[in-house]
């Protein structure tokens, strides 16, 4: 079990590495149970769903969900169903994002993209089935004292829907080749990336029956971490190689996509990511030192190299 250790300087050092390994193992085990086996008919579809799901994603959204639940006093098992639901939505969005009609990418999570292996038709359907499975998992949860199943279904549907995740993707597509302003770019980031990260953190709180003050703090934390996540993603796209990222590097410039590095330069972009992460830390004050894992995850996401 990951612990908070006391370092040589007397300060507490959270062992994030162990924490992430443990959470990833538990999430992978749960996802394996939640997805139909690769031999269940239609086997091609279930193979395609599993191919992308177990291709080696960082599992950041489930980890944030679990860490948020723990900050509110719950255990990992309580957060696991909704953590898995969010990873199903995230994986669907990546499969569809990689399609020729979208970002047209050949490489994701260090492997050929879903449509490269299974063809476009099956890739679209694997994405659809993962999206649908997320709602099934949420609907099958035992329930929460303060939140109804309807609350949770609406929470996920709004984050994944036309005004957030899908809406952000539309704005991203429509912005290609245009000179966007920083506020226009932020509009895209808030929807395309931050909405699902914010939802992951809120679902962790909901899994723990969090109170209103905690939910609002988690909302702010997820919002700022989600924005910082995309700024760092844009920076990595220009500073890292395809091998290091496990997905095609330099795609944004090639597609003439607006990014923070393109608009304000690399140094200013790094400062923006640091400032957003600082705001995320600020939101954790509401947890009076009980949100160590969330704080460590925010730092990790700021400093990540892939
Ligand atoms: C409805 C046809 C249709 C398409 C929608 C919503 C959508 C497709 C795509 C979402 C857009 C998208 C991919 C946003 C970027 C978010 C982002 C930075 C993803 C990468 O997340 P990581 O780094 O990935 O956590 P891993 O692979 O580690 O899980």
In whole angstroms, give the CA distance from residue 164 to residue 189: 10
Say if residue 208's pLDDT is above 50: yes
Question: Which residue out of 127, 193, 196, 273 has the highest number of ligand 1 atoms within 8 Å of its CB and is therefore the one to mutate?
Answer: 193
Dist. CA 163 → ligand 1 center (Å): 15
Contact status, residue 204 vs residue 72, Cβ threshold 8 Å = yes
**For residues 138-154, average pLDDT:** 97
DSSP string, 216-272: HHHHHHHHHHHHHHHHHHHHHHHHS-HHHHTS-TTHHHHTT---HHHHH-HHHHHHH
Average pLDDT, the chain: 94
Range of weakest confidence among 53-57, 128-132, 154-158, 178-182 = 178-182
**pLDDT for the residue 2:** 56
Distance of alpha carbon 29 from alpha carbon 81, whole angstroms: 11
Mean pLDDT of 268-295: 97
Query: What atom of ligand 1 comes closest to residue 55's alpha carbon?
Result: 27
| Residue 165, pLDDT score | 98
Locate 139 and state its tokens.
């609907």
Instruction: Supply 10's token pair.
Output: 């007397």
- pLDDT surpassing 60 at residue 5: no
CA of 92 relative to ligand 1 center, distance in Å:
8
What percent of the chain stands above pLDDT 70?
A: 96
DSSP letter for each residue of 174-185? HHTTS---HHHH
| H/E stretch holding 111 | strand 111-112
Pocket of ligand 1 (CB under 6 A): 57-58, 60, 90, 93-94, 96-97, 109, 165-166, 169, 192-193, 230, 233
The percent of residues in the chain predicted with pLDDT above 90, rounded, is 90
- Ligand 1 atom nearest to CA at 101: 2
Q: What is the pLDDT of residue 11?
A: 44
| Number of the ligand 1 atom closest to the C-alpha atom of 165 | 6
Q: How far is CA 28 from CA 2, 35, 62, 65, 81, in A?
A: 18, 11, 10, 14, 12
pLDDT band at 8 (very low <50, low <70, confident <90, very high): very low
Judged by average pLDDT, the poorest of 21-25, 79-83, 125-129, 255-259 is: 255-259
Residue 10: pLDDT band (50, 70, 90) is very low
- CATH code of the region 4-303: 1.10.600.10
Please determine, for residue 141, whether its predicted confidence score (pLDDT) is greater than 70. yes
Q: What tens digit of pLDDT does each residue of 209-230 get?
A: 999 999 999 999 999 999 999 9
How far, in Å, from the CA of 127 to the mean position of ligand 1?
A: 12
pLDDT of 12 higher than 70: no
Whether pLDDT at 4 is above 90: no
Residue 80, pLDDT score: 98
Distance, CA 169 to ligand 1 centroid (Å)? 9
Q: How high is the pLDDT of residue 6? A: 45
The pLDDT, as a whole number, for residue 9 is 43
* 67-89 confidence digits (pLDDT tens): 999 999 999 999 999 999 999 99
Q: What is the domain partition of the chain in residue ranges?
A: 4-303
Give the tens place of pLDDT for each residue, 22-55.
999 999 999 999 999 999 999 999 999 999 999 9
Please determine, for residue 268, whether its predicted confidence score (pLDDT) is greater than 80: yes
Per-residue model confidence (pLDDT) at position 251: 85
Determine whether 177 is exposed, middle or buried from the number of CB atoms within 10 Å of its CB (0-12, 13-18, 19+): exposed
């Amino acid at each position: 079990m990951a612990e908070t250790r006391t370092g040589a300087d007397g300060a507490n050092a959270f062992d994030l590495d162990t924490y992430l390994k443990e959470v990833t193992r538990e999430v992978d085990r749960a996802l394996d149970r939640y997805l139909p086996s690769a031999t269940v008919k239609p086997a091609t579809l279930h193979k395609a769903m599993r191919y992308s799901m177990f291709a080696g994603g960082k599992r950041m959204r489930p980890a944030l969900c679990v860490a948020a639940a723990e900050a509110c006093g719950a255990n990992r098992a309580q957060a696991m169903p909704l953590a898995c639901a969010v990873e199903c939505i995230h994986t669907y969005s990546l499969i569809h994002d990689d399609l020729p009609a979208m970002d047209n990418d050949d490489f994701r999570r260090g492997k050929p993209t879903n449509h490269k292996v299974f063809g476009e038709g099956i890739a679209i359907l694997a994405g659809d089935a993962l999206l649908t499975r997320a709602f099934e998992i949420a609907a099958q949860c035992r329930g929460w004292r303060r939140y109804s199943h309807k609350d949770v279904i609406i929470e996920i549907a709004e984050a994944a829907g036309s005004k957030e995740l899908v809406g952000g993707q539309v704005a991203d597509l429509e912005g290609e080749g245009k000179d966007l302003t920083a506020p226009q770019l932020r509009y895209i980031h808030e929807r395309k990336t931050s909405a699902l990260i914010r939802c992951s953190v809120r679902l962790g709180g909901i899994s723990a029956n969090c109170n209103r003050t905690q939910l609002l703090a988690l909302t702010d934390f997820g919002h700022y971490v989600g924005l910082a996540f995309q700024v760092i993603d844009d920076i990595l796209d220009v500073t890292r190689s395809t091998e290091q990222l496990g997905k095609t590097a330099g795609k944004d410039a090639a597609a003439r996509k607006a990014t923070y590095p393109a608009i304000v330069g690399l140094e200013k972009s790094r400062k923006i990511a640091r400032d957003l992460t600082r705001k995320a830390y600020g939101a954790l004050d509401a947890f009076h030192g009980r949100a160590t894992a969330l704080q460590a995850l925010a730092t990790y996401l700021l400093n990540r190299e892939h």
